[in-house]
Structure 1
Amino acid sequence: MRWLAIFLMLASPAMAVDLIVPGGIVLRSEETSAGQIRLPDNVWTPDRPANVASGAIERTVIRVPSAARTTVQLLSGLRETLSAEGFEEVFSCADAGCGGFDFRFQLDILGEPDMHVDLGDFLYVLLTHPDDGTSPHTVALLASRSRAAGFVHVTQISQAGAVEPDLPATAEVTPEPDTPASTIPSLVETGHSVLSGLDFGSGSADLGDGAYPELEDLAAWLDENPTARIVLVGHTDSVGSLEANTALSRQRAASVARFLTDVLGADGGQIQSSGAGFLAPIASNLTDDGRARNRRVEVVLLSLGE
């Protein structure tokens, strides 16, 4: 069997390191000269937001056309190479030990269909290089598998293009809540989308009766893609405690899930629901308009199936 070697060059010219994934094929790569990205450095808990790093960012998805290797094996070569070059592992976790879906949701990675993440079979590793007079680097590795292939996501950050942290990086790509008929294209392209037209008042979890075109489109898309799996994630404004808002956000997501299954006939086996409370705002909570935008439910694409 012929092995394909994929070479990934770290961003700083002062520290060039070849990262090799034997048998891998690059499916997608994106670079940003100056941006922000969430890099979890601990297990997810409701009161611990993910660390936000800034700088020059490169994200790459590699597919290994075989599911024979475990997630540990998929990352072993990269970890050894980075360790030899002076990188230190500061955090690693696997599967439910990371914090479940909530941990996965805070990863700013390239989404389906390129990067597949099985919530029951993934490994995350965060490495940093000490500041020795050159631009320090951070590398985040993520590996997972489908039934037919292995997937590796590499995130590289150099402080060469650092900017002051503002909002989580996902705010740059989240569609405006009032954008019509955008759920499915955005869901497939970026891996997540805000569901428009859902009216939740502050403190309310009820989804009223009425027409919800985006939910109808989503139900139809699920019916046309029976192997697809999604998670509905509720979000709140900052009125009230974190515990209360986390519970409320889960109730809102569950309310949307019930509407999809009970009213629109979607298959409940394709749908999960969870809540993030007020930990992932897309607007300021200091204004009425901002709080209204933050009271939302997002749909996250977990898998298209194979």
Structure 2
Amino acid sequence: MRWLAIFLMLASPAMAVDLTVPGGIVLRSEETSAGQIRLPDNVWTPDRPANVASGAIERTVIRVPSAARTTVQLLSGLRETLSAEGFEEVFSCADAGCGGFDFRFQLDILGEPDMHVDLGDFLYVLLRHPDDDASPHTVALLASRSRAAGFVHVTQISQAGAVEPDLPATAEVTPGPDTPASTIPSLVETGHAVLSGLDFGSGSADLGDGAYPELEDLAAWLDENPTARIVLVGHTDSVGSLEANTALSRQRAASVARFLTDVLGANGGQIQSSGAGFLAPIASNLTDEGRARNRRVEVVLLSLGE
């Protein structure tokens, strides 16, 4: 088998670093001269927003056509190279230890089908250079695997083009309730989307009668992508106990799953359901508007298959 080496050139007057992934193939690369991006530097918790970095941003996805290497092995060479150039690891975590899907979906990474992330098998590493003028001065690495391949996502932040943050760390990246047509593109691009327009009775887990265009679109998309796997996650506001809200959110997600399979004919083998209760708010629970936004069901893309 022919092995390729991908060199990501990180050049500055002060230093030049070659990041090499043996056998890797660059699937996608995007650059922004001045922007903002979330770079978590701690385990996800509901009351701890992700760190937001500003500057010139470069994001690259590399695919390794073999799943033989673990996530630790996929990143070992990059970590050694960066360490030799003076970078210091400020945070690292693996899959559930990071905070589960909530941690994964606060990462501003390039999405499926290029960057595949298995929620049960990924490794995240954040590194910073002690010299703020280094280019880059911050690098975030993410590795995961599918059944047939390994995936590495490299995010580089440089001072060039830096701007003052004008977005809060808790900015929601999923589409709003007025943009139902964006559900499927958002699901594929960012890995998750809010299913708007769902009608549950007050305190009820039953999905009301009526037409649900977003669910129809989702069922059609699943039919067109038979290897795709999703999980429906219910969320609530903070009124009531955690136990009661977790149960209600799980039941509502299951109700949506049943609608997809029983009414719209979706393949149940592609769909899982779960509930997070009030542990993953997207707005303040101190206002009626915020509580209404937090009462939702999200669809999370687990895999597009190989």
Q: Distance in 1 between matches of 2:266 and 2:11?
A: 45
Deviation at 1:68, TM superposition (A): 1.8
Q: Which deviates further from its counterpart, 43-52 or 14-23?
A: 43-52
SS in 1 for 2:142: strand
Asked if the contact 1:229/1:271 (under 8 Å) is kept, the reply is: yes
Q: Distance in 2 between matches of 1:289 and 1:16?
A: 49
Deviation at 1:291, TM superposition (A): 6.1
Q: Distance in 2 between matches of 1:17 and 1:96?
A: 31
Q: Distance in 2 between matches of 1:236 and 1:180?
A: 20
Q: Distance in 1 between matches of 2:260 and 2:12?
A: 48
1:221: which partner in 2? 221
Task: Assess, with a 3 A threshold, how the Cα gap between structure 1 residues 233 and 164 changes in structure 2: closer, same or farther.
Answer: farther
Asked if the contact 1:38/1:108 (under 8 Å) is kept, the reply is: yes
Percent identical pairs in the alignment equals 97
Deviation at 1:80, TM superposition (A): 0.5
2:46: which partner in 1? 46
Q: Distance in 2 between matches of 1:61 and 1:89?
A: 21
Asked if the contact 1:36/1:169 (under 8 Å) is kept, the reply is: no
Deviations along 1:146-181, one digit per CA (max 9) or x if unpaired, are: 121111011112243333444467958533422343
Asked if the contact 2:206/2:255 (under 8 Å) is kept, the reply is: yes
Q: Distance in 2 between matches of 1:52 and 1:94?
A: 21
Asked if the contact 2:8/2:20 (under 8 Å) is kept, the reply is: yes
Asked if the contact 1:64/1:150 (under 8 Å) is kept, the reply is: yes
1:193: which partner in 2? 193
Asked if the contact 1:71/1:122 (under 8 Å) is kept, the reply is: yes
Q: Which deviates further from its counterpart, 225-234 or 115-124?
A: 225-234
Aligned length, in residue pairs: 306
Q: Distance in 2 between matches of 1:258 and 1:168?
A: 36
Asked if the contact 2:201/2:208 (under 8 Å) is kept, the reply is: no
Task: Assess, with a 3 A threshold, how the Cα gap between structure 1 residues 216 and 305 changes in structure 2: closer, same or farther.
Answer: same
Q: Map 1:15-26; keep pairs closer than 5 Å.
A: 15-26=15-26
Asked if the contact 1:34/1:162 (under 8 Å) is kept, the reply is: yes
Task: Assess, with a 3 A threshold, how the Cα gap between structure 1 residues 270 and 173 changes in structure 2: closer, same or farther.
Answer: same
Q: Which deviates further from its counterpart, 178-187 or 244-253?
A: 244-253
Deviations along 1:103-138, one digit per CA (max 9) or x if unpaired, are: 222222111100111122221111111136546722
SS in 1 for 2:171: helix
Q: Which deviates further from its counterpart, 146-155 or 160-169?
A: 160-169
Asked if the contact 1:47/1:242 (under 8 Å) is kept, the reply is: no
Q: Distance in 2 between matches of 1:28 and 1:15?
A: 25
Deviations along 1:17-53, one digit per CA (max 9) or x if unpaired, are: 1111111111011122222222222223333332222
Asked if the contact 2:136/2:156 (under 8 Å) is kept, the reply is: no
Task: Assess, with a 3 A threshold, how the Cα gap between structure 1 residues 178 and 81 changes in structure 2: closer, same or farther.
Answer: same
Task: Assess, with a 3 A threshold, how the Cα gap between structure 1 residues 248 and 108 changes in structure 2: closer, same or farther.
Answer: farther
Q: Distance in 2 between matches of 1:208 and 1:9?
A: 54
Structure 1: give runs of 5+ residues left out of the alignment: none
Q: Does 1:206 align with 2:206?
A: yes
Deviation at 1:224, TM superposition (A): 3.1
Q: Distance in 2 between matches of 1:90 and 1:252?
A: 39
Asked if the contact 1:108/1:170 (under 8 Å) is kept, the reply is: no
Task: Assess, with a 3 A threshold, how the Cα gap between structure 1 residues 139 and 272 changes in structure 2: closer, same or farther.
Answer: farther
Q: Distance in 1 between matches of 2:274 and 2:36?
A: 25
Taking structure 2 as the reference length, the TM-score comes to 0.82
Q: Which deviates further from its counterpart, 250-259 or 280-289?
A: 280-289
Asked if the contact 2:142/2:152 (under 8 Å) is kept, the reply is: yes
Deviation at 1:188, TM superposition (A): 2.6
Deviation at 1:297, TM superposition (A): 3.1
Q: Distance in 1 between matches of 2:63 and 2:54?
A: 27
Q: Distance in 1 between matches of 2:78 and 2:235?
A: 36
Asked if the contact 1:28/1:62 (under 8 Å) is kept, the reply is: yes
Q: Distance in 2 between matches of 1:305 and 1:97?
A: 24
Q: Which deviates further from its counterpart, 85-94 or 282-291?
A: 282-291
Q: Distance in 2 between matches of 1:278 and 1:162?
A: 35
Q: Which deviates further from its counterpart, 265-274 or 169-178?
A: 169-178
Q: Map 1:99-138; keep pairs closer than 5 Å.
A: 99-131=99-131, 134=134, 137-138=137-138
